[in-house]
Amino acid sequence: MSSQFGHVFRISTWGESHGGGVGVVIDGCPPLIELSEADIQGDLDRRKPGQSEIVTPRAEADICRISSGVFEGKTLGTPICISVVNKDARPESYKEMATAFRPSHADYTYQAKYGIRNWQGGGRASARETIGRVAAAAVAKKVLKKLFPALEIVAYVKTIHAIEASVDPETVTTAQVEANIVRCPDPVVAARMIEFIKEVRGEGDSVGGIIECAVRNVPPGLGEPVFDKLEAELAKAMMSLPATKGFEIGSGFSGAKQRGSEHNDPFVMREGKVRTTSNRSGGIQGGITNGETIFFRVAFKPTATIFHAQQTVTDAGEETELKARGRHDPCVLPRAVPMVEAMATLVLCDHALRQRAQCGLTDYGSLTTV
Amino acid sequence: MSSQFGHVFRISTWGESHGGGVGVVIDGCPPLIELSEADIQGDLDRRKPGQSEIVTPRAEADICRISSGVFEGKTLGTPICISVVNKDARPESYKEMATAFRPSHADYTYQAKYGIRNWQGGGRASARETIGRVAAAAVAKKVLKKLFPALEIVAYVKTIHAIEASVDPETVTTAQVEANIVRCPDPVVAARMIEFIKEVRGEGDSVGGIIECAVRNVPPGLGEPVFDKLEAELAKAMMSLPATKGFEIGSGFSGAKQRGSEHNDPFVMREGKVRTTSNRSGGIQGGITNGETIFFRVAFKPTATIFHAQQTVTDAGEETELKARGRHDPCVLPRAVPMVEAMATLVLCDHALRQRAQCGLTDYGSLTTV
Amino acid sequence: MSSQFGHVFRISTWGESHGGGVGVVIDGCPPLIELSEADIQGDLDRRKPGQSEIVTPRAEADICRISSGVFEGKTLGTPICISVVNKDARPESYKEMATAFRPSHADYTYQAKYGIRNWQGGGRASARETIGRVAAAAVAKKVLKKLFPALEIVAYVKTIHAIEASVDPETVTTAQVEANIVRCPDPVVAARMIEFIKEVRGEGDSVGGIIECAVRNVPPGLGEPVFDKLEAELAKAMMSLPATKGFEIGSGFSGAKQRGSEHNDPFVMREGKVRTTSNRSGGIQGGITNGETIFFRVAFKPTATIFHAQQTVTDAGEETELKARGRHDPCVLPRAVPMVEAMATLVLCDHALRQRAQCGLTDYGSLTTV
Amino acid sequence: MSSQFGHVFRISTWGESHGGGVGVVIDGCPPLIELSEADIQGDLDRRKPGQSEIVTPRAEADICRISSGVFEGKTLGTPICISVVNKDARPESYKEMATAFRPSHADYTYQAKYGIRNWQGGGRASARETIGRVAAAAVAKKVLKKLFPALEIVAYVKTIHAIEASVDPETVTTAQVEANIVRCPDPVVAARMIEFIKEVRGEGDSVGGIIECAVRNVPPGLGEPVFDKLEAELAKAMMSLPATKGFEIGSGFSGAKQRGSEHNDPFVMREGKVRTTSNRSGGIQGGITNGETIFFRVAFKPTATIFHAQQTVTDAGEETELKARGRHDPCVLPRAVPMVEAMATLVLCDHALRQRAQCGLTDYGSLTTV
């Protein structure tokens, strides 16, 4: 049950890095949504390897195929199966990992959990697993667009190592993000980031950073009390992505250093709606959206697989040294941008439908129905 | 479905701050665990209001009652219902909130979601809701103790505002944490924290901080790939607690500033077991425990309810000013320490049983069965 | 997780026959539904023991209490906890069952599953467990009434042993059902049933029968393909009631003896709607309602606890003889009528909200939107 | 969420009759189970069309492919994706159903629910959907075999129309069932059934019947109290199969005509185990297995699609007549036998793992640990 996500718009993913392929089944998608493979391919292309000189050169076109749930260009309401075949698998590059565990990768922990692992290319722990998430989110995006046409989700690289961009989450556009290969909408800083990643790659090393994401024009009232608070679901969604180490929303960790009188967001009326004059809450209060922009940050560690010799042990319990081969991202962030957007989209789509289930998408937020 | 947590050890909580009371039903608890109300009361006492001069003075003894699932001192395997009656409710203190929304509280968002709210004392968004979590976790703790006798979970206050304690997660004890009312195991820093909280309270203001939690002697192999990664489940668990703004595990946000060659944790053999020489992973790799100490940090914002006049609006859409009365914590962290432990306990207990379901608690981590 | 039912309108029940009490938590109930304890008490009274001379004389008023989720007479959208205290427990009547297993009861199987059981009065396997179901269904009924005002659910005793009533599911009313203590709307046959039950009780024996249930004025489109077909969910719901041995819908087992040309229900247009001229489908086709009356039958075995000496074994593995004492129903059917209605109500309410989640309660059935 | 089944061994199916294909993802399968496509193909062959002269002639080899979750011949513990491509689709045979609803089929109800349907060959309501169930169950069977090597599940045709076989559920073998094309282990009656089906097919008509299933050598203690009683889960599983109208376990509907003194199953000790001298309970008491053979019966209606002209309406609301073309089973039962076995296998496998989660597969049933 660990490969499922969502309550009403529920996805089930499968697949390993090396094997027959990867994919997803979506259950609970509303009917009558226009959908074709082209709607999905765009987001898969943003995620795919080999798209630029700062990501892994694995050559995968990641062409998706819809096998069910769509008829004459529209969703049927029944499960949608989307799959991608693995083409450029090179198990021979991983031969030494058949016995030795890569440090800070999931080799040892999978072995400890299951007593077996697919040592070819990371198996289920490979970032290839995220193809299913991105494909499903492309569908969820169309559902959200139908329910809330103005809603926008934009993620971008905020920092690489110590290099930080200046970005306004209220106005940043996808076009700005997509304008460069590192997906940082601050063009000057982006150039420095790209140079830095190339340098690190040249050293056979890797590097981490922070992705920020903004969700704009969300209606108030999405999310749930207690365990399924929207920020809790977003935190889980983001921390389920490979290589993540931290999540913060609104004021985040810096909010822990403020007083209530500084941190609280005063309410005002604007254009007949309840709004706040600041947004340290990050668009969510008590687990439920207040109509302001949701923004959060996700910390990614440096890629575990590097080309330095590292101390490790074998599955026979012998100490050894391992120097990776294979094809790897020196920095996961450029390709993680669509993954962060995908997970945010899945969370919001599921909560929109949950809200419709329980409360019927009535606009109580306008206060006119009170 | 938002008030349920866990897949196999599943809890369902209920209750508002002002109303009949609060409680929890635990479904899926193993049978034959010795259990009495006394096992639960200790943790509830650590959470309850009025326990010290730096928390809310609301006078609630929070005496729990087990109504089902236990027979002759042992769990039956059937649902365990635990409840606490609300005694010291004072709805009159909240009268102005019947119409005006408290800034940065959940008043407006509940209204926007449901078109109705219990305005007395925060309703379902009150921290009283966490009684059910703490009670359920007291039971989960006994289950974990039976499965993994050496496992320990210790949370503590790491920072209050800018005041930071120095604590070693590998050795800190519950006795050290409980030695002072702020629950910071660094006694010198704790004294400063207490002074600071009193000062802030005197000003009618509030303050935030960071709680750190260590889980020691966890067997390798707990957690799941993809969506239910252990760090993802912990992130959700923590971010579902009231007033949380951020979560990080292991190296966390600082890991985003490291290179792979610095960040990776080398493997060695120690006492016949696979271990790491550093622990930037925070005890989890690829979503699954590696046997090292799990440690993570949770950021809490300053309490929203303060005694300053604040700008806000009413549920009729009129701008107004609100100055809170009622009884509130100037700083939630001392009472949040048992809540953080509770959520970590619930996540680990559920994953221990999930692992037993799928793999049978076989100790593959010792590598001897490979 | 075995004591939970429903996906969106989800209930969690707890409680044993002898112990602190029984109850239910409802999560996912729509807000703004008018609700008081009086709305629930009526159905609990139909279920309670001691209500007539042909049911168990256990003296329980079964007064319910709502502890959460309702404010100023309306549901809040947050969990609703409803509980009933056990008053007339007499554990001494069950003393011999502390060691000997009652034949065809759940004593042995609970012991085999859990290694422990509450031997006082059936524990969790007692029909007292159904109080939580009936209470939750009273709430679900109000939700359904708001969504589909014309929808009606009427269950009644169809047969007792070999005595069969003649009832038209399209027209039978609750008033007719409640007109006598056996809850059979055919008054002449009802009198014979009552006499027969008294006779059987006089012999210290028990007897079974069949309950039929009609759900009228259901909109087309409720239910789901594949696993959660409406008839599958109804079957599970009914077979989860104590003492049930069979379920059939529409033509049921007799349909297995027909040819397609006899069994199929022809479609016609009536008052602008798609209708059928016969209803062997029982109102459901392919798991989804077609707008005709749903009707199904549930077989109940004779009560296991009888006052004859029976051959059995002890939990020490010794053969022995057991003659029950305690207070028992000679026939469960009169009290099972509200239980059958309750389970049907819960299934329909959950599916109505599931439909609203995915498709938005659009009336496609009218064909005008095609 | 309607295409998912199971809590711990959870399957998600997808696919329509005409479209890219059908398949299943299994999440939660234990690792280290030997598995290849050949293990699955055998059961798919028993289910496939065209296998004999009394089933539909649609020519589908139904060759399955495993795309994930298996490595070097063993399960990895990660999701297993199994798919089958549709080869012999003939949408042109269904052209008239593009507008006219087939009586007693799911055409109208899908349209009423979703506002759209795949009218080619039944879409998601086609029995092709059961390929995913049968494939998943082939995996579950191997899991069960490892946990309980002696456990056996055998289903067979008990009646066709009014023709009833005489079969002993305690001794019937799969070889006997597979000895003829109608899958009835009573060879004399089987011959009559085959003749009858041919006759009905010749008339362009269809016919129903009853399948019985026996589960032998089940350990005591599987199943759950209250909602997830084993018989309730079996009922749901069976009633989720296409064309089912009824389910009964043990004494079933005939038990409703007995007295307690006739119906109860006395306990005795046999070979150190608690056993019963009769088995009207059908192997389950209070929702939990008692170690006796589980046996139940499932009623199937005659196939809805027949070659007679039938009265119906179009999706424009006009009355019309429809005479089916296409390829259809005159009687679904021979091919439904492996489907019934599959669903019983899935229920038992899931409950075995649920029991291991909560109680650890301790053999309390032997009473030696009491």
3-state SS, one letter per residue, for A132-186: HHHHHHHHHHHHHHHHCCCCEEEEEEEEECCEECCCCCCCCCHHHHCCCCCCCCC
Distances (CA, A) of A65 to A8, A69, A83: 23, 12, 5
Q: Give the span between the Cα atoms of B129 and B6, in whole angstroms.
A: 17
A355 contacts: CB under 8 Å, gap ≥ 6? A221, A222, A361, B113
CA B349, B354, B356, B360 torsion: positive or negative?
Answer: negative
Task: Return the closest-CA partner of residue C56 out of C339, C336, C243, C330.
Answer: C330
Nearest CA in chain D to B28: D358
Longest dimension (CA), chain D: 70
Among all chains, which residue has been given the structure tokens 């943003």?
Answer: A46
Banded model confidence at residue A368, pLDDT cuts 50, 70, 90: low
Angle, helices C333-359/D107-114, rounded to nearest 10 degrees: 60
Mean pLDDT, chain A, integer: 94
Residue A265 tokens, joined: 């967001």
**Best of A80, A81, A84 to disrupt the D interface by mutation (most D CBs within 10 Å)?**
A81
Q: Give the span between the Cα atoms of C7 and A357, in whole angstroms.
A: 10
Q: Residue C317: in which H helix or E strand, if any?
A: none
**Chain B residues touching residue D8 (CB < 8 angstroms):** 8, 354, 357-358
C270 contacts: CB under 8 Å, gap ≥ 6? none
Report yes or no: A40 and A135 within 8 Å, Cβ to Cβ: yes
Residue D34: pLDDT over 80: yes
Structure-model confidence comparison of residues A364 and B255, the more confident one: B255
Q: Left if phi > 0, otherwise alpha if psi is -120 to 50, otherwise beta: which for B241?
A: beta
**Chain C residues touching residue A360 (CB < 8 angstroms):** 30, 356, 361
The mean pLDDT of B353-366, rounded to a whole number, is 90
Contact D77 B358 (CB under 8 A): yes
Banded model confidence at residue D58, pLDDT cuts 50, 70, 90: confident
**Chain B residues touching residue D358 (CB < 8 angstroms):** 8, 28-31, 77, 353
Report yes or no: D339 and D126 within 8 Å, Cβ to Cβ: no
Task: Return the closest-CA partner of residue B15 out of C8, C78, C63, C40.
Answer: C78
Domains of chain B in start order, with CATH, are 4-366 (3.60.150.10)
CA distance B82 to chain D (A): 19
For B282-320, b/e burial (b = at least 16 CB within 10 A) is bbbbbbbbbbbbbbbbbbbbbbbbbbbebbbbbbeeeee
D206 contacts: CB under 8 Å, gap ≥ 6? C259, C260, C261, D200, D302, D303, D304, D305, D306, D328, D329, D330, D331
DSSP-derived secondary structure for D94-137: GGGGGTBPPTTSSHHHHHHHHS----STTGGGSGGGHHHHHHHH
Angle, helices C130-147/C37-47, rounded to nearest 10 degrees: 130
Among all chains, which residue has been given the structure tokens 């609803």?
Answer: D101
Angle, helices A37-47/A130-147, rounded to nearest 10 degrees: 130
Contact B16 C68 (CB under 8 A): yes
What is the tens place of the pLDDT at every residue in B26-76? 999 999 999 999 999 999 999 999 999 999 888 889 999 999 999 999 999
The mean pLDDT of D167-176, rounded to a whole number, is 98
Burial zone of D232 (CB within 10 Å; 0-12 exposed, 13-18 middle, 19+ buried): buried
Helix, strand and coil in chain C, % to nearest 5? 35, 25, 45
Contact A225 C78 (CB under 8 A): yes
The mean pLDDT of A85-100, rounded to a whole number, is 83
What is the tens place of the pLDDT at every residue in A108-156? 999 999 999 998 878 999 999 999 999 999 999 999 999 999 999 999 9
**For residue B328, what pLDDT is reported?**
83
What is the tens place of the pLDDT at every residue in C193-242? 999 999 999 999 999 999 999 999 999 999 999 999 999 999 999 999 99
**For residue D1, what pLDDT is reported?**
67
Distance of CA C98 to the CA centre of its chain: 29
Q: In DSSP terms, which residues pair with C164 in a beta bridge?
A: C159
DSSP-derived secondary structure for C21-73: EEEEEEESPPSS-B--HHHHHHHHHHH-TTSSTTS--------EEE-SSEETT
What is the tens place of the pLDDT at every residue in D235-263? 999 999 999 999 999 999 999 999 999 99
Contact D265 C355 (CB under 8 A): no
CA B331, B334, B338, B341 torsion: positive or negative?
Answer: positive
Report yes or no: D100 and D325 within 8 Å, Cβ to Cβ: no
**For residue D327, what pLDDT is reported?**
77
Banded model confidence at residue B370, pLDDT cuts 50, 70, 90: very low
**For residue A128, what pLDDT is reported?**
94
Residue D137: pLDDT over 50: yes
Residue D362 tokens, joined: 């301790």
Task: Return the closest-CA partner of residue D243 out of D304, D182, D329, D163.
Answer: D304
Q: Is the ipTM of this complex over 0.90?
A: yes
Residue B225: pLDDT over 80: yes
Mean pLDDT, chain B, integer: 94
Q: Left if phi > 0, otherwise alpha if psi is -120 to 50, otherwise beta: which for D99?
A: alpha
Report yes or no: C368 and C235 within 8 Å, Cβ to Cβ: no
**Chain A residues touching residue D23 (CB < 8 angstroms):** 67, 81
Task: Return the closest-CA partner of residue B120 out of A247, C76, D332, D33.
Answer: C76
Query: What dihedral do alpha carbons C6, C10, C16, C17 form, nearest 10°?
Result: -70
Q: Give the span between the Cα atoms of D263 and D286, in whole angstroms.
A: 15
Q: Give the span between the Cα atoms of C19 and C126, in whole angstroms.
A: 12
**For residue A353, what pLDDT is reported?**
97
Angle, helices B333-359/D333-359, rounded to nearest 10 degrees: 130
Strands (E), chain C: 4-5, 10-15, 21-27, 64-66, 70-71, 74-75, 80-85, 152-160, 163-164, 209-216, 244-249, 267-270, 273-276, 284-285, 288-289, 294-300, 309-313, 319-323
Distances (CA, A) of D370 to A139, B222, D344: 54, 30, 30
Contact A357 C28 (CB under 8 A): yes
What is the tens place of the pLDDT at every residue in A262-317? 999 999 999 999 999 999 999 999 999 999 999 999 999 999 989 999 999 999 99
Residue C367: pLDDT over 80: no
Percent of chain D, pLDDT > 70? Answer: 99
CA distance A356 to chain D (A): 16
Helix, strand and coil in chain D, % to nearest 5? 35, 25, 45
Query: CB-CB: which of B21, B27, B124 is closest to C12?
Result: B27
**For residue C368, what pLDDT is reported?**
57
CA distance C136 to chain A (A): 16
pTM score > 0.80 for this model?
Answer: yes
Contact A77 C358 (CB under 8 A): yes
Q: Give the span between the Cα atoms of C218 and C230, in whole angstroms.
A: 12
Query: CB-CB: which of B101, B104, B235 is closest to A236?
Result: B235
**For residue D369, what pLDDT is reported?**
45
**For residue A369, what pLDDT is reported?**
45
Query: CB-CB: which of B113, B226, B244 is closest to A13?
Result: B226
Chains near B (3 or more Cβ pairs under 8 Å): A, C, D
Task: Return the closest-CA partner of residue D169 out of D344, D295, D278.
Answer: D295
Contact C245 D251 (CB under 8 A): yes
What is the tens place of the pLDDT at every residue in B12-22? 999 999 888 99
DSSP state, residue B84: E
C218 contacts: CB under 8 Å, gap ≥ 6? C148, C151, C283, C289, C291, C293, C294, C348
For C38-59, b/e burial (b = at least 16 CB within 10 A) is ebbbebbebbbbebeebbbebe
Residue B1: pLDDT over 70: no
Residues in chain A: 370
**Best of D226, D353, D355, D370 to disrupt the B interface by mutation (most B CBs within 10 Å)?**
D353
**Chain C residues touching residue A225 (CB < 8 angstroms):** 78
**Chain D residues touching residue B30 (CB < 8 angstroms):** 358-360
Q: How many CB pairs lie under 8 A apart between chains B and C?
A: 150
DSSP-derived secondary structure for C162-190: TEE----TTT--HHHHTTSTT--S-HHHH
Distance of CA A257 to the CA centre of its chain: 28
**For residue B343, what pLDDT is reported?**
98
**For residue D368, what pLDDT is reported?**
57
Contact B225 D360 (CB under 8 A): no
Contact D354 B357 (CB under 8 A): yes
Report yes or no: D53 and A108 within 8 Å, Cβ to Cβ: no
Residue D370: pLDDT over 80: no
The mean pLDDT of A357-370, rounded to a whole number, is 77
Q: Give the span between the Cα atoms of C227 and D1, in whole angstroms.
A: 9
Contact C10 B4 (CB under 8 A): yes
The mean pLDDT of A238-251, rounded to a whole number, is 98
Distances (CA, A) of B229 to A106, A147, C124, C141, C180: 11, 31, 34, 39, 58
* Least reliable range by pLDDT among B90-99, B125-134, B336-345, C179-188: B90-99
Q: Left if phi > 0, otherwise alpha if psi is -120 to 50, otherwise beta: which for A334?
A: alpha
Contact D71 A117 (CB under 8 A): yes
Burial zone of C84 (CB within 10 Å; 0-12 exposed, 13-18 middle, 19+ buried): buried
Q: Are strands C70-71 and C64-66 parallel, antiparallel or unpaired?
A: unpaired
First to last CA, chain A: 40
